[in-house]
Structure 1
Amino acid sequence: MLSVTDVVKSFKSGDQTIRPVNGVSFAIEQGTFAAILGKSGGGKSTLLSLLGALDKATSGDVIVDGVNISKLPDGKLTAYRRDDIGFVFQAYDLIPNLSAQEGVMLPMEFAGVSHAKRSERADERLNQVGLTEEMHQRKANRLSGGLQQRVALARALANNPNLILADEPTGTLDDETGEMIIKLLHQLAHEKETAILVVTHDQALAGQTDRKFRVSRGKITEDTPKVRA
């Protein structure tokens, strides 16, 4: 489903060539919940940007469902980000004056989904992540951090993406709320057959994933995969 082969990202800094991602290869199937760990500056965030088509690799291939996004023109990359990828950020990045429902409807509007269908699907996604009907109409800035992260997950699921990329999704949450988000990510990956890849420092989160990768100095290695029941 996601196949990364010999991916390099390089740039010049004075007389030096910096390679924050340097020959990375790995693959993830649908329905897999995976984590990428590593120290700051090791290349995790750069790799996430390449997978999400926020940046282009200098060389190598990033293939999602048979499409090599490393070779797509910018116009098609916009459609890829909109239709095939769901993003979840540490800071939630919700629009404060929109209700939870309106926030989840927004990416569907950009995708050309009708208003009636946007409303229906937004409610379905919010129910899926555990928000009550009453909370659907509550403004984002009136929700707790844990609830805002649930709305962010619902928004990421809005256009039925093949891949969800999450950058430190539990980073600002307390332990109990973080644990709830971890369980929710695990459930979404396995029940919806969605590939979910998280970049995290959270060992509790990483310990509950199906696969665990480590990035250091631009290289990637994988811990021994867990056997799924």
Structure 2
Amino acid sequence: MNLHTANPNLDASATHAVVTFRDVTKHYGDPAAPVRALEGITVDIHRGEFTAIMGPSGSGKSTFMNIAAGLDDPASGECHIAGQPVHRMDDHQRTLLRRSAVGFVFQSFNLVPTLSAAENVVLPFQLAGRTVDAETRRWIDHLMSTLGLAERAAHRPAQLSGGQQQRVAIARALASRPQIVFADEPTGNLDTRTSPEVLSLLRTAASEYGQTIAMVSHDPVAASYADRILIISDGRLVGDHGRLSPSQISELLIGTEVGAA
């Protein structure tokens, strides 16, 4: 399978999308009384946008991200990443697609403690058997400088602050220029001073580098940095909004929780 050939059967709206869901459903547990994590979701995540995915606890937003990133299978429906039919791929094919098209930023940073900051950034290239050529090295050096890590490149994670560790994780996610970066509660372990810095970096990645970002978050302040806000409740997409203030987002979430009660 050529992982870089777009699927010609996708509808026109999906041609400008990095991730497409078409009537995606996901159930867990006893088939006689299933837990409906996702129920018939159809949506596109657009290229170059910073999208926040929100909802109450247990709403299905993490399941949404896992399927969108090729980490989980839908029970039915179609999911495409960069035009590729993830729902029809086996585990090996999905692994190759994630290595070439997807970056991740997690709440827990997920850095290798025995490696330096610079070594953590290039680790995905080594795992994928890819050579870091001169152009890529210049890009990585630019990222490290932009993220304020140039003087910390030789330091191991234990020698870095939480904010610096998350910056390393962001540099690692951006280094291969992926089609999309998934950020799962990226500021969850950061203090109130550092969180805005990290969110501004993600905002810059979208606005200046054209990077597509999909962030799962419960925090209205974090989501206010996004271009677009998707709200999931009881496994259904119940809101699709443009950029909003933290107070507007809070009101939407309160309304979602009241509606679900």
Which residue does the alignment assign to 2:116?
Answer: 99
Equivalent residue in structure 1 for 2:65, among 48, 53, 58: 48
CA RMSD after TM alignment: 1.8
Matched residue type, 2:21: V
Equivalences for residues 141-152 of structure 1 within 5 A: 141-152=158-169
AA partner of residue 86 (structure 1): G
Name the counterpart of 2:259: none
Q: 1:36 aligns with which of 33, 53, 63?
A: 53
- The structure with the largest alpha-carbon Rg is 2
**1:120 Cα deviation from its structure 2 partner:** 5.0
Query: What residue in structure 2 maps to residue 27 of structure 1?
Result: 44
Distance in 2 (CA, whole Å) between partners of 1:128 and 1:25 is 36
Query: Structure 1: which amino acid aligns with 2:196?
Result: E
Give, in angstroms, the shift of residue 115 of structure 1.
5.3
Q: Counterpart of 1:202?
A: 219
C-alpha distance in 2, partners of 1:141/1:121?
Answer: 25
Aligned to 1:89: 106
Q: CA deviation at 1:54?
A: 0.9
Residue 171 (structure 2) pairs with residue 154 (structure 1): yes
For the 8 Å contact 2:122–2:172, the answer to whether it is kept is yes
SS in 2 for 1:215: strand
1:48-67 map, 5 Å: 48-67=65-84
Farther off after superposition, 113-122 or 86-95: 113-122
Q: Which has the higher contact order (CA 8 A, sep 6+)?
A: 1
Q: Does the alignment pair 1:123 with 2:123?
A: no
Q: Which moved more, 1:103-112 or 1:117-126?
A: 117-126
Amino acid at match of 1:99: S
TM-score, structure 2 normalization: 0.81
Contact 2:187 2:198 in 1 (8 A): yes
Does the CA-based 8 Å contact 2:50-2:206 persist in structure 1?
Answer: yes
Question: What is the CA–CA distance in structure 2 between the aligned matches of 1:115 and 1:159, rounded to whole Å?
Answer: 9
Is the contact made by 1:91 and 1:172 (CA closer than 8 Å) also made in structure 2? yes
Task: Report how many residues are paired.
Answer: 226
How many angstroms apart in 2 are the aligned matches of 1:221 and 1:14?
A: 25
Could you say if the C-alpha distance between residues 14 and 28 of structure 1 is closer, same or farther in structure 2, counting changes exceeding 3 Å? closer
SS at match of 1:220: strand
Taking structure 1 as the reference length, the TM-score comes to 0.92
Structure 2 unaligned residues grouped into runs of 5+: 1-16, 245-261
Percent of residue pairs bearing the same amino acid type: 37
| Cα offset, 1:121, TM superposition | 4.7
Residue 7 of structure 1 contacts residue 25 of structure 1 at CA under 8 Å; is this kept in 2?
yes
Work out the CA distance in 2 between the residues paired with 1:86 and 1:181. Answer: 16
In structure 2, the residue matched to 1:6 is: 23
